[in-house]
Amino acid sequence: MSKRNLFLVMFAGVAPFAVPAMAADLVSDQTYSDPAYNWSGSYIGGQLGTSSSGFPNPFSGKSGLQFGGQVGANFQSGVFVYGAELDGAYSKGSKHKLDDGAELKRTWTGAAKVRAGVSFDKTLVYGTAGYSMTKVKPGGTVASGGKWEGGYLVGGGIEQAFAGNISAKVEYNYVNYGDVDYTLRNGSKRSEDLKSHTVKMGVNYRF
């Protein structure tokens, strides 16, 4: 893992704890009062983004368009918001390019996540962590069949609420699937550390 990716993982992992601590200092200094907007409730929504084995670049040959949906629930106590979310998406064109012309392509992806953050009235800043699974298909010189792989997920985002219980968000997710085994057409067996970076925009309706 590169130093940049390691920094992103460390930052996203501590975000759910660091941000509430900062907000607690603000509350103790009486510089921030309880927000008028309440994020509590269940929600459902859709998402659109780009996913890649490297840092997301929609113009990269390794990147693919991703679309899907999510369901979840939020609970609010003062300025602190926490909850859980399930999401699923389909990615077309997201590739892991390996040695000797080998490729592994990601298609279906699902994740179970927890979220925690701080509400600034209608603006929510949060971190997220959980477990993700993806369907891997062979490409190029890879002969082994498609299978599901799983790994840990960390990330963070910003969500903005609007009228009518509608909100929009931008979120980044990093997933490390660990060592994935595959077989080339010449019969040789290989293993590669697979990871993904996803940036997505989403819209939620809370009820």
Domain boundaries, the chain: 3-206
Q: What percent of the chain has pLDDT over 90?
A: 50
Question: How big is the chain, counted in residues?
Answer: 207
CATH architecture of the domain 3-206 equals: Beta Barrel (2.40)
CA distance 54 to 197: 6
pLDDT of residue 122: 96
Average pLDDT over residues 36-65: 82
**Backbone phi, then psi, for 159, in 5-degree steps?**
-125, 135
**Percent helix, percent strand, percent coil in the chain, to nearest 5:** 15, 65, 20
Is residue 203 within 8 A of residue 168, CB to CB? The reply is yes
Is residue 45 within 8 A of residue 68, CB to CB? The reply is no
Average pLDDT over residues 95-106: 80
pLDDT of residue 58: 54
pLDDT of residue 101: 80
pTM of the model: 0.78
Average pLDDT over residues 42-59: 83
Q: Is the pLDDT of residue 94 over 90?
A: no
Q: Is the pLDDT of residue 43 over 80?
A: yes
pLDDT of residue 61: 55
Q: Is the pLDDT of residue 51 over 60?
A: yes
pLDDT of residue 82: 97
Q: Is the pLDDT of residue 151 over 80?
A: yes
pLDDT interval class at 60 (50, 70, 90): low
Average pLDDT over residues 52-80: 83
pLDDT interval class at 189 (50, 70, 90): confident
